[in-house]
Structure formats: C-alpha cells, structure tokens
Chain A
Amino acid sequence: MSTSDGYVLIALIVLPLAAVLLLMLTPSRERGGIIAITGISSFAMFVLSTYVFMRYDFTSTEQFQGVLAWPWLHNVGFLGDDGIQIKVGIDGIAASMVLLTGIIVMAGTWVSWKVRQRTKDFFILLYIVVAGVYGSFVMLDLFFFFLMYETAVLPMYMLIAIWGSTRKEYGAMKLMMMLVAASIFIFTGIFAIFTEAGIGSFDLTRLYAAEYSREMQIIFFPMIALGCGTLGGMFPFHSWSPDGHASAPTAVSMVHAGVLMKVGAFGIIRLGIQVLPEGAQFWGPALITVGIVAALYGATSALKQTDLKLMSGFSSVSHMGYVFMGLGTMNVVGMTGSVLQMFAHGVMTALFFLLIGGMYDQSHNREIPNFSGMAKQMPLWAIFFLIAALASLGLPGLSGFAAEVHIFVGAFRAYPVVGGLAVLTAAITATYLLRMASQMFFGEFNARWSALRDITWAERAGATVLVISMLALGLWPSPWVDRIATTLAQTIPGVSL
C-alpha cells in the first residue's frame, strides 16, 4: 500500500462528513435527495473500504501503511514537534475493521430508508457516527483517535432516544452515561501515557517507541482495557448493551453492535496492548477470565430471554467475550481469532438486527413465544435468520467458525481449562439459537401475523451482502488471517506464536 493511498484513508472520514453537510443543505421533504445522497455515499464508502482492505500489503515489513500526516498543533504550550497531527495509516487489524465498517454501513443505510420520522436528521447523526468509527480505525494520532472515538459514541443518545422503540429513553441514557463514564478511564489513561512518555507528542508511532515504566503500565493498562472494554461490551460493564440494542432503531443496532463495539475492542489493542505491552502481559489472565465469564454469562442470559433483541444483545455480550478471551491469550493465534471474531460477530449481529427490525417494523412485537410457523409466512426472513443463527453458533463454512477455531486453539495453548469452557459456551449458544428457531419458524402458524409481509427488497439486498461476507470469511479466511497475524507478530513485543 503506497503513501498516496493515505488519501483514501482520509476520504473514508471526509466522505460521511461531506454527506452530512449535503444532507444539512437538503430540505427535509426531499426524500429522493436524501436517499440519493446516502445511497451514493454509502456505496462509495463500501468501495473505498474494500479497496483499502485489498491494497493493504501483508508481505511488507512496514507496520503502518498509507501513512500521511499534516501538522495540526505543535510547539504550543506543552506540545513539542509533531504535537498533534492529523495522521492516518492502517495496519492489518485496522484494514479488516475498515472493510467491516464499509459492509455494515452500506447495508444499514439501505434498511434505514424506511425511517419516515425526521429522516434527514437520522442520517446526519448516523453518518457522524460512521465518520467517528472510520476515524478511530485509521487515525494514528492519540488525540484524534480519541476525538473520533468520542464522536462515534456521542450521537447514539439522540439516535436511540428519538428513533428507538420500547423504553428508548431509558436505554439511550443508560448507554450514553455508561459509555461516557467509561471514557473517564480512557481520558486518565491517555493523560498518563502522554505525561509518562514525555515527548510532547500525541503521535501514536512515537508513543509506541517511547519507554514506560513497568509499574505505570500495570496501573494504566487496566484503565484503558476497562474504558475501551465497556464500549466493547466487556463483562461486567456490558449492561448498557442489551438495553441499548433493544431500544435502538435497526440501523443503529447494526452499526452499534456491528462496528462500534469493535471500536472498543480495537481501542484495547491500539491503546492498551500496543502502547503498554508489559501491562497487557501482566493483565492477560484477567482479560481471559473476564472474557470467559462474559461468554458464559452472556450465553446463559440469552437462554432466558424472550425478547428477540434482548436475546441478540446478550448473545453479543457472549460473542464479545470470545474477543477479550482471545486478546488475553497474548499469542498470535488467539489474538488473530479475536480480530476475526470482531469481524465475524460484526456481520453476523448486523444481520440479526436487520432481520429483527424487518419484522418488528410490521408487527411491533418481538416476543419469541408469540410467534410460530413464521417460515411459511416470511420464508426469506426465516432462511436469512437461520443462516445468521448457524454462523453465530459456529457452523463450519460460516464466519463464526473461522474465528472461534483460532480463539479456542489460542486459549487451549494458553490455558486448557479456558479452552474447555469456551467450547461449552458454544454449546449453550447452539441451544438458545436452535430453540428460538424451532419455536419461531416451525410449528403451527399463528394467524395473528397473517398480515405480515416478507422482508423488503432493501432488506433482502442488505442481508445478501452480509451473508456473502459471512461466507467469504468462513470459506476463505486467509485474506483476513494474513493481514491480522502479520500485524500482530510485527507490532506486539513479547507476543508468542
């Protein structure tokens, strides 16, 4: 990937913001204009994301590629040379996440054309989130990384409180306050890292090279891990996630569970493991413990849920638990599995929320026991749902399998007991998903739902894109594995194979 590709990385941030600006200038009654702007810009984002992923050269020894930097503020106050820069560049992990964002934003945009309340405002806020997400993945300056991270979180309150359903204000406020409270830890961590490094620069590559005392790393790694981990749905600070997702509108759930939670896990890698590797080594076992508890807890909680979205929310907690488990193994296989799982869970959960939304918009009901025999009434819906469920429980050939195998191998290598528990979790996952499927799709049709129609064309298209990505990762994972594993082996000191 050449330096000029850095402009593509910048374009990933500028594009959604340009769409926001255009939307602001479009009158709200011009639905056609709104659909055109969002359709074109989301497709362009998808194309650029794919381009970035393909162009990333995993055979190169350069840790970050497409690096471009412009000075923003330097030699002022406590800032020295390269104080704060607008600096972009990606590694293999960021490349995979950029691709994920492109896929989910495009699918999310399509299904959101249904929104008829303040449609324009909805897309403005959604695209601010998208700009923040892309920014978090590609920024190589600590200040801007955090700025983008917060930008991605901030509009969530309004997106849920205005366009959500069932207890939306509670869900929105809980989500917002928990995530912002978690940011306290990140703030503190960043201030400590900057002070300890003492180079007067927020440049991440220079901060990677700086020296940090072991004590400092041990104190501040958990802060970063907790702060970013909360956004990633880390147990026990996950409780915003089921409530928030249950009340969020479809596309917001998709973007939030699909990519925003990944920004959290990505933050642990970027700020935590890469900057403070000794701290990460020290706290690795704790991360694994938290991960396995979350996986088990999320799965058993999902067993008990009757609301489809809550079930899916707890399932997310469980699947994100695998991610933290993989990160905690501190070996390349496990951590590669983590990043794969971030991708796999992203597309899979987005498909879940897309389908749940497609039905809820018509039925205004999500209680699993209220439905039966839906496969006859909404066959396509049922088929897509089944594919998502199978990917979720780790069927070989679909995305979840590729990811989970890596994590399990990594976990067995690090702590065999944990590996065993992880496999148990997969069994529980199969239980709640298959039980839900048999209840909802099969059996006698409940006539109450005879007015329901199968999912719309937009939803079919979105679901197809997501299923294709799941199949791609499941059948041919090497493009992802190559990029991620090379990066991990190169960038994290002290990581074992």
Chain B
Amino acid sequence: MSDLNLDYSLLLPEFVLALTGLAVLLADAFRKELKVGRSMLPWFTVLGAAAYGGFGAGWMGAQAEFAGIFAIDAFTGFFRVLFAVTLVVVVIGSHEYVTKQIRHQGEFYAMLLFATVGASFMAGARELLTAYVGLELLSFSLYVAVSLAKDDKRSGEAGLKYVLLGGLASATLLYGMSLIYGTAGSTSYAEIAANLEHGAEDLRTPLVLGLVMMIAGLGFKASAVPFHMWTPDAYEGAPLPVTAVLSATSKAAAFAVILRLFSGPFLPVIDEWRGTIAVLSLATMVVGNLIALQQHNLKRLLAYSSIAQVGYMLMAVVTISDASASALLLHMGGYLVTNLAVFMGVIAFYNHSGTEEMSGLHGLAETNPFLAMVLAAGLLSLSGMPLLAGFTTKFLLFQAAANGGYLWLVTIAVIMSTISLYYYLKVIRQMYVVLPDGSQLPYATEPSVPQPRWSMSPSSLAVTSVLLVMILVVGLYVSPLAIVADNAAKALFAAA
C-alpha cells in the first residue's frame, strides 16, 4: 500500500452524518440561546440521514478505496442506503413515542446518528481495526440509547447488561483480531487473504483460535446462539425505537463485517470455519424459534424471532459465494422493511395503549383495522408467507443455500420457519379472532356490532403505510432490489 488514496470526499456521507449528530447535540444543549425548539431535532436527523443516504446511493457505482482501509463500492453503498432508510423510518415513525417516553431527546437522536456512522464504517471497512472502531462506535452509542427510556427501570438494567456483555464480546473480538494479525501478519483484508493463501501449517492453532474468537465476538453483535443471551433483555428494556435499531442497523452492520471477512480474508481457510458457522446457524434458528414459542411480551417475541432470522442468514455465510451473498443481501433488505413495519406498528400501538403484552392486542382488528393489517402483514412476512417480502426473499435465500450443497440445513430452516408461523399466528389471533372486550365473535350470519375506533398519529400512519406498500412491492416486484443486492455482492467479491 504505497500510494494511499486520501481523497476525503469519499467519506462525505459519514462526515455529513457525524456533523449532523454534533449539530443535534449542540442544538439541544443551546436550545435557548439558538432559539430552536425540540421539535426541530428530528427534522435535523432526518435531513442528515437523507443526505447520507443520498450520497451513499450516488457513490454506489464507485470503485474506490480510502487509504486501503475503507472501500467505497456497491456493497458499502447498499448498506449506507439501508442504514439511512432505517434511520429515517425510525425517527419519523417514533416521533410521538420519543416526545412521550424519552428522557434526553437531543442525546437520543445524536446517539442514533453516531450509531449509524459506526455501522457505516463497519460496512466499508477493509481492515480489521477500522471495522473494530466502527463496531465500538455503534456499540457505545447503543449502550447509551438503550438506557434512555423515561420511568422504566428495565431500561437502565438493560443498558447495564448490554454494556457488560458487550464489553466482554468486544474484548474477545479484539483478542481474536490480534491472533489473526499474528498469524497473517497484517490487519488489511487484502494482505490477510494473500498471506493465508500460502499460510504455514504450523500456525494453524492460533489461526483457528483467532477465528473462533472473532466468530464469537461478531456472533454477539449479530445475536447468534449461544451469544444471544443479552438480546431479549436489551430488546425488552430498550425504548422501542432503539429496539428497532438494534434489530435492523446493528444486525445488518454485523453481517456486513461478517460478509467482508468471510468472503475475502478468511476464504482461503474456509474449511476451518465452515463447520462452526453451520452449527451456529443451526443452533440459532432452532433455539430462537423454540424459545419464541413461549413468549408473551411482544418485544421479547420479536427479540427471539430476530435471533431465529439470524440463523437463516448465517446459512448464506456457510455457503459463501457471490450467489449466496446476493441472496443474503436481498433477504436483508426484505427483512429490514418487514421488521421496521412490525416495530413501527408496535410503537403506534404502544403510544395508544401503553402496553407491549401480546394479550393487550385483542380486538385491534375492530378498533384500528389498518394497524392490525400492518402488523399482520409484517408478522406473516417475517414467517415467510407469500405475496409478502418474506416469502420471496426467504425462498431465494434458502434456494441459494441449497445450491451451495446444504440442503439438510435448509430443510431444518424450513421446519423452523414453519414453527415460527405458530407464534406469529398467536399474535394475529389476538387481533382478529378476539373482540376488544375479550369475548369471542358471534356466529357469522349474525350482524356485527360496530366498535369505537381510534387512529394513529399522522407520522405513524405515513410510515406504516409506506412500509406496508414496500412489503408488498418487495414480495411481488423484487427485481430492482435484487439487482442492487446482486451488484453489491459482486462488488464484495471483486474487492476480495
């Protein structure tokens, strides 16, 4: 790496985002002096995120590298847009929630912005330490964000649990990285790949140890079993918008790092880690789905269901190839839209009812049919039902893994996916089959009694409508997203 490319404009999207974060913090701190209202903060955030996403999309065709540590290509661009969409959706969809439930609004928005900066660096990193610093930035921002809920003791508890376990995981990851550095002699992905290609046999033990520790550290961020223990508690305690970010941005960023690592530097030693990831994938989908069956709290249910999703996604890492990566990125796009729809729906419901228990949903189909439809579509899409995003992207993901020679793993994934339908149907049953007063519906030919209705805030309505449409669009007209994902996957392998 003699000629370092120090073209700072390549990092413009991240600069915009970081500066917006600072601006939001300062604007909040000097509200009176600057005469800006609290209500301006989400607007700043949305503008910053939109600019970030816009620049990211604009640079999607680029093939550049910053100082040999950060790639600006279709892959980075894909994730930049993904993160930007998540941020915009979460900020708009949780506006009412934030004004009611969040203690420090300036910090809340700033932390989400900084977390996204970290995630963005994770997606683009082509060097171990850059990836690590990005991961730490993401984690630290989220440690704070998780504990920002007003009047909820669980929030502080969740923050503490998350920070302690997160610290342990990050130490493990860093130790793993140092072992890899010791084995391969470099922290640059390109050089690690080259050196491991002609790797010396006598360095196998530190290599395997390093790989295992890195998988553990990254597995923690992605909440793969057995490193998932923090997930349900953090999801439950965190304010709902933060939970949404945990399940979307944080998870996608972890997968971006995993894909960059396992498609490039670690590809020469695929036999050393393939079995481990396969077992991880199997354990994650089985444990996530089986424990989800017993949940009564919506957040915990979604936590376990998101763990289960990680299991499916890891299958694409096991069978890593540009076709698998393409299917995984597509699925991630579909999953993101679906998951956000569910979370935004739950936020809207919580704003009205103040409960996040499954049983609290009864009769929603009578009192707010649109919200019930959004939640039902989101949950059915999560379980992979047709006409919706989940069916199409999951089908392609599974087929990709089957093509990679792992039909047995795919079969288990399909079984688990079927089990997941049961717990999603339990939620849907509450909304549709039970009446608002908890009683059963009368016989079909008897006239129905109209129930009083309530409506969501305009911001929630707008966000959930857009997401519902997107779930259908991804489900029925997938090709634009699939082409973008395919280009990203090709860029990933071109860089490697």
Contact = CB atoms under 8 A, between A and B. Distances in A.
Interface residues of A, number: 46
B326 interface: yes
Interface in A153-199: 154, 157-158, 161-165, 169, 173, 176-177, 180-181, 183-184, 187-188, 190-192, 194-195
Interface in B404-461: 407, 410-411, 414-415, 418, 421-422, 425, 428-429, 432-433, 441-448
Nearest to B385: A154
A184 B323 CA distance: 23
Contacts of B399: 78, 190-191, 194-195
Interface in A105-154: 114-118, 121-122, 128, 132, 143, 146-148, 150-151, 154
A184 B400 contact: no
B99 interface: no
Interface residues of B, number: 48
A457 interface: no
A177 B422 CA distance: 7
B327 interface: yes
A76 B483 contact: yes
Decide if the interface of chain A is mainly helix, strand, loop or mixed: helix
Interface string B307-331: 0000000000000001110110010
A161 B434 CA distance: 10
B441 A191 contact: no
A115 B445 contact: yes
A158 B398 contact: no
Interface in B231-273: none
B327 A151 contact: no
Given A147-B391, A148-B386, A195-B402, A78 B414 contact: no
Contacts of B51: none
A285 to B, nearest CB: 26
B444 A115 contact: yes
Given A73-B478, A161-B429, A154 B386 contact: yes
Contacts of A117: 441-448
Contacts of A169: 429, 433
A267 interface: no
Nearest to A161: B433
A198 B362 CA distance: 48
Contact of A77 (B411, B415, B486): B486
A73 B479 contact: yes
A77 B400 contact: yes
A448 interface: no
A188 B380 CA distance: 20
Contact of A173 (B395, B415, B425): B425
Q: Which of B323, B398, B399, B403 has the most CB of A within 10 A?
A: B399
B449 to A, nearest CB: 10
Contacts of B428: 157-158
A361 interface: yes
A77 B432 contact: no
Given A76-B482, A151-B386, A169-B433, A194 B421 contact: no
Contacts of B213: none
Interface of B: 322-324, 326-327, 330, 365, 380, 385-387, 391-392, 395-396, 398-400, 402-403, 407, 410-411, 414-415, 418, 421-422, 425, 428-429, 432-433, 441-448, 478-479, 482-483, 485-486, 489
24 contacts: A76-B479, A77-B326, A77-B330, A77-B400, A77-B485, A77-B489, A78-B326, A117-B441, A117-B444, A118-B365, A122-B444, A150-B391, A158-B428, A169-B429, A177-B418, A177-B421, A180-B418, A183-B414, A187-B414, A188-B410, A188-B414, A191-B410, A194-B403, A249-B444
Closest 3 CB pairs of A and B: A77-B326, A191-B402, A78-B323
Given A154-B386, A190-B399, 7 more contacts: A73-B478, A73-B479, A77-B326, A157-B428, A158-B433, A164-B444, A195-B399
